[in-house]
Amino acid sequence: MSDATDPWLIVGLGNPGPDYAANRHNVGFMVADLLATRIGGKFKRAQKAQAQVVEGRVGPPGPGSRRVILVKPMSYMNLSGGPVTALRDFYKVPTDHVVAVHDELDVDYGMLRLKLGGGDNGHNGLKSMTKAMGPDYHRVRFGIGRPPGRMQVADFVLKDFSSTERKELAFLVDRSADAVECLLAEGLERAQSAYNS
């Protein structure tokens, strides 16, 4: 069982490369980038996995701060489980201290849902992580809503946020980063009551 001194692995899910940077599917990367800025770190290539990492601490100085490893897998979404599991093992992180930040089709745009465990709901990044290490990790689900009309899901998630969505995006990414910090500092129930919408 994990304890307060164990590190946390915060995984922003997305696809590497500039072509994907502003896609809905890459909102996990956006949140990870903001968290890296907050802890004053820059992403560097991981030695032990196909990923970029930043190490640091979140929360107030002292016993309330938490050691974190921020991760952006560079393996493409559907292979995220390999790099995440390698880093979990290398840093000796309990699975319940792993947090996946990802886009969620079944949650309206801009809404957040935090939970521990559960299914993958067709999300290839979660599917890969669950296959590699089981389902018992935290998820911060960033709502992107369903595709309009007959648009295919794959096309929708690999499109950039619309101009209307982009007006709120920076605020929503900021709120998601706050939710991750709250989860680490105060636990799942407190974070759910503050951020689940």
Catalytic position from the list 25, 97, 102, 138: 25
Q: pLDDT digits over 155-164, tens only? A: 999 999 999 9
Q: What is the pLDDT of the chain when averaged over all its residues?
A: 95
Q: Summarize the confidence of residues 6-15 as an average pLDDT.
A: 97
pTM, to two decimals: 0.96
Question: Which residue's entry shows tokens 């974190």?
Answer: 68
pLDDT of amino acid 2: 64
Q: pLDDT digits over 77-95, tens only? A: 999 999 999 999 999 999 9
Listed residue (101, 108, 112) closest to 196, CA to CA? 112
Q: Quickly state the pLDDT bin for 20 (edges 50, 70, 90).
A: very high
Q: Rg of the chain over CA atoms, in angstroms? A: 15
25 as an active site residue: the answer is: yes
Q: Report percent pLDDT > 90 for the chain.
A: 91
